[in-house]
Structure 1
């Protein structure tokens, strides 16, 4: 029995050790393919084309490295690790070792990558049933991509800790985890904290929100804290009485944070904005009960794009009592009278300074635009819909173009379009090439040349 216990412990330890075949800097051959969209004629560049569990970073965050040459993405080529693909050559490089959790943060001003992960000793403790439910600390880790790419190209790689640096660790009682968002000054990284920690920072008389909607999500409290990526210093930002979802920052305005009230669908008040010192908390876009606001993304110094959904049928009173129903997300009647086209819907852009909002465009039928992005120069907006089609909008003329379709409604996820920093192309994730109709690949869609040449 004693021998069996020793073997079990050794087996667990070996399982947790980094895989020798999953070394940071390992290179993978190009899978790059250029495919013509069979419907629109747009030439699509698939930077990956094999069924290896690829998915892009969420559209609230940066995708490209600061030199504009690489895209960072998630993949099972090295299970549990992040990858980079060179846009011109298609070559791929593993950019983490030891795993990561939550959001990948690609710095815009330097060749660095930031993410959170659990320390190895925390994973070992979780194996003990007596310690399984106890909160653990979290590390914020920095990767020096410039050194890594250079050594990987030479074929002379060093140990992981030469490229990866632990910026600091949170205290277990904070319950840290979830989204990580790198500040515009790239000195601080923001993250969610657990309910107990959030409650400690709420005024005693704060009324907590209950779960909202059929998914039984949204109850508070929740909070945001930050770590200085140079010193490991931790500061507290704010607590709120509801569940926090995506956290993102304004890359052009250090200290400005945008986050959401997460319910899994329609929220009473989805979008929020706060400064890093906890001041200035307010709804980003004050919404009405009939508005279904979702998938907000900071797109420029002063602007946030979001979708006001028009995906639900208008229910006309009749004698049948027919309820809203359907296979697409959010069709359950329990979401209330929101998300129909009785009121204005579409891809909306809110000005952070003036608080003005305008709708840039909407599909003429179907679900309407869903996940959205835009170019920092204010020229373009882009969105997908339930059919996984991708639409481009000229914000000067409000002309809308079906840019690409055929990305399969059976795909493991949605396209989640993200506009490049220079506004010339869009990154999506697509199942167009998959044989199982589910697995996804990283794809680049160009803005049409004739649109780029437009003068206003």
Structure 2
């Protein structure tokens, strides 16, 4: 019996829909490759090795699935969807369908992934939960079901919130936190509060902004806090429910970069009160009580010999903060390096600094308090023994032409570090996902 044009169109739409449903769980060939660092001799495990636009999750958030076997990352390999790669086998699996926006949030207790994506209606965002255990098991079995089987919409933010930015999953895995826009933030500001103007040459940092939260089981939304400046990275303490760390974002030096607040809006305060001459950046919660951050030492001291010659690490277009419009901050005339502040005692210590160059830039630490790690403008990665303050160059040669920085991040047990690297990229720009081991002789220290 011949079919009408409408029937043909309907069949085509159904076929396309079925193909789309099958996209989650799609498998890609292993790209796993062992590469010896040409300078340090460290053997890196490249989990991806082809130039298809990979990037890791930001260091403020977990990188490994709860079972410690898979690394989740962003890539254009599957058209902008999130992927998971098995660290031992190299198997790559697509774990989202329909796209995402902002930060990917891996749960540490359950095999779950949370993220935001745009709703069909403009200005609204959905919070989505992915059952990673089911996706990975069904993908391995070759028996994928429709995407809705694995992806659940936890709730949708009203357009009036102006929601967006970095989403963070609470340690209890019941709440997610996200930024709200100026209008919503202004509704919760105290009467007469001074709103901060833009700060610095990038014309960023003006407020107000705020943070709200959503319950992933019920979709209920509650306001957390409003502040008179632009909110940047939001992260949750991964061990203590209801404790947040966030930043005043200016695109460079902030008047007061790091902040902390409780989920009920109480306890708002600067995390590390900084001086005008300090350039504080890239904070990350690393233990139940500690936050690591960089105090940059990347700029020449005014009037010094380096100021005349120009800093050796100032590679055109690669490294920020060199222009004088940022003011006097970020030189080594004052203490700089990888700082760690205790959130309970408020004591801070500098655990290490590179002998020259930009200093440490993006930083992290192991949850057991043994190690700290940081990268620098040369894209080299330095390991620090926190007990002895000894520093060790783990890997370099990652090319200053890379599309982004290494962003080193420890795994849960502090034995390895994930980075993103252009070391083996043919164009010197495209990045891949790589694992750097903590040296065995250091792990064996008592």
TM over 0.5, shorter chain? yes
- Number of the residue aligned with 1:244: 231
- Number of the residue aligned with 1:437: 428
TM-score (structure 1 length as normaliser): 0.91
Q: How does 1:10-159 map to 2 (within 5 A)?
A: 20=20, 23-119=23-119, 121-122=120-121, 136-159=123-146
CA distance in structure 2 between the partners assigned to 1:21 and 1:186 by the alignment: 27
Alignment partner of 1:413: what SS? coil
Q: How does 1:264-279 map to 2 (within 5 A)?
A: 264-279=251-266
Alignment partner of 2:417: what SS? strand
Would you say 1:355 and 2:346 are equivalent positions? yes
Shift in Å, 1:322? 10
Shift in Å, 1:431? 0.3
After superposition, give the CA deviation of every residue in 1:161-209 in whole Å (9 maximum; x if it has no partner): 0000000001011111111000010000000011111111101211000
After superposition, give the CA deviation of every residue in 1:373-415 in whole Å (9 maximum; x if it has no partner): 0000000000000000000000010000000000000000000
Contact preservation (8 Å) 1:406, 1:432: yes
Would you say 1:385 and 2:376 are equivalent positions? yes
- From 304, 317, 326, give the equivalent of 1:335: 326
CA distance in structure 1 between the partners assigned to 2:407 and 2:106 by the alignment: 17
Please, which runs of 5 or more residues in structure 2 have no aligned partner?
A: 1-9
CA distance in structure 2 between the partners assigned to 1:20 and 1:351 by the alignment: 48
Size of the aligned set, in residue pairs, is: 429
Alignment partner of 2:135: what SS? helix
RMSD: 2.0
Shift in Å, 1:137? 1.1
CA distance in structure 1 between the partners assigned to 2:132 and 2:248 by the alignment: 34
Shift in Å, 1:20? 3.4
Contact preservation (8 Å) 1:212, 1:267: yes
Q: How does 1:367-386 map to 2 (within 5 A)?
A: 367-386=358-377
Contact preservation (8 Å) 2:22, 2:145: no
After superposition, give the CA deviation of every residue in 1:24-52 in whole Å (9 maximum; x if it has no partner): 00011110000111110000000000001
Contact preservation (8 Å) 1:411, 1:438: yes
CA distance in structure 2 between the partners assigned to 1:387 and 1:431 by the alignment: 12
Alignment partner of 2:429: what SS? coil
CA distance in structure 2 between the partners assigned to 1:175 and 1:374 by the alignment: 33
- From 403, 412, 416, give the equivalent of 1:425: 416
Alignment partner of 2:239: what SS? coil
- From 373, 382, 390, give the equivalent of 1:399: 390
Contact preservation (8 Å) 2:21, 2:145: no
Q: Quickly say closer, same or farther: Cα 1:294–1:22, change in 2 above 3 A.
A: farther
Would you say 1:299 and 2:290 are equivalent positions? no
- From 225, 236, 251, give the equivalent of 2:212: 225
Contact preservation (8 Å) 2:72, 2:84: yes
Contact preservation (8 Å) 2:362, 2:376: yes
Alignment partner of 2:355: what SS? coil
- Number of the residue aligned with 1:7: none
- Number of the residue aligned with 1:161: 148
Alignment partner of 1:173: what SS? helix
Alignment partner of 1:226: what SS? strand
CA distance in structure 1 between the partners assigned to 2:59 and 2:337 by the alignment: 17
Q: Quickly say closer, same or farther: Cα 1:322–1:212, change in 2 above 3 A.
A: farther
Contact preservation (8 Å) 1:113, 1:143: yes
Shift in Å, 1:323? 9.6
Contact preservation (8 Å) 1:70, 1:84: yes
Alignment partner of 1:289: what SS? coil
CA distance in structure 2 between the partners assigned to 1:449 and 1:384 by the alignment: 21
Alignment partner of 2:185: what SS? helix
Contact preservation (8 Å) 1:195, 1:221: yes
- From 288, 300, 315, give the equivalent of 2:302: 315
